[in-house]
Amino acid sequence: MKKVGVLVSGRGSNLQALIDAARRGELGGEVAVVVSNVESALGLERARKAGVPAVFRDHRGKKREAFDAEIVEILQAHHVDLVCLAGFMRLLSPVFVRAFPGRIVNIHPALLPAFPGLEAQRQAWENGAKVSGATVHLVDEGLDSGPIVAQEAVPVLSTDTPDTLAARILEAEHRLYPRAVRLLLEGRCRVEGRRVIVEGE
C-alpha cells in the first residue's frame, strides 16, 4: 500500500477528499499521517476522526529549515511515498523539497500559471477571467511554480462573487486532487522539463 502524508494549516476539506477517496479504494494508496503547523486546524480533527495519525508542530520561534527538518522526519518515520500540501500556508525550504524530490504536490485554486499566490479565486474574479479552476502541481522551491500534473477548468459567471466562485472551484479541487494523487502513486507521470507527461493521456 502506497502512503501519503498530508500537510494542512486549516479547514482540511481537500484532506477530507483524499481520505474519502482512499476509503473508496480510489486513491491508489492511504493517508498515513497528517501534519499541521496550526494546533486548532480542523484538518487535524478530520484526521483523528478518520483514525489517521495527526501531528501538530509549531513553526513559531524556529528557523524555517529547522521546522522543515522536523516535518521531514515525521513524514519519513511514516514512510510516505508522496507528500500532499492541502492548504498548508508555508513555503517549503530547499531542505524539505530535496528530501522528497518530485514527490511533493500542492493544490492551487486557479489555473496556473495564472493567479499564483494568495486569494487566487479573488484575483481571477477581479481580473475578469471568464474561466478559472484548480491546479495540482509538483512543488519546487518557488511559489506555486512547479510542473503541472492536472487541472480542472471552472467557468466564472457574471453573477459570481469571489465567494461563490471559490465554492465552485473547491468542488473541482475535491474531484481533481484524488485523481492527480492516484496518477502519481500509480507511477503514471513522467517529468520532462516543465511538462508532466501522463501515461495514457
- Positions in the binding site for ligand GRF (CB under 6 A): 8, 10-14, 86-87, 107-109, 170, 173
| 77 or 167: CB nearest ligand GRF | 167
In whole angstroms, give the CA distance from residue 29 to residue 26.
8
For residue 110, the minimal CB distance to ligand GRF (Å) is 8
In whole angstroms, give the CA distance from residue 64 to residue 70.
10
For residue 160, the minimal CB distance to ligand GRF (Å) is 16
| 66 or 167: CB nearest ligand GRF | 167
Q: Which residue is nearest to ligand GRF (CB)?
A: 87
In whole angstroms, give the CA distance from residue 45 to residue 24.
20
Q: In what order do the strands lie in the sheet with 189-192?
A: 54-56, 30-36, 3-8, 82-85, 104-108, 131-138, 148-155, 195-198, 189-192
Q: Which residues are catalytic?
A: 108
The contacts of residue 195 (CB under 8 Å, 6+ apart) are 147
| 57 or 69: CB nearest ligand GRF | 57
Q: Give a three-class secondary structure readout of 27-66.
A: CCCEEEEEEECCCCCHHHHHHHHCCCCEEECCCCCCCHHH
| 69 or 91: CB nearest ligand GRF | 91
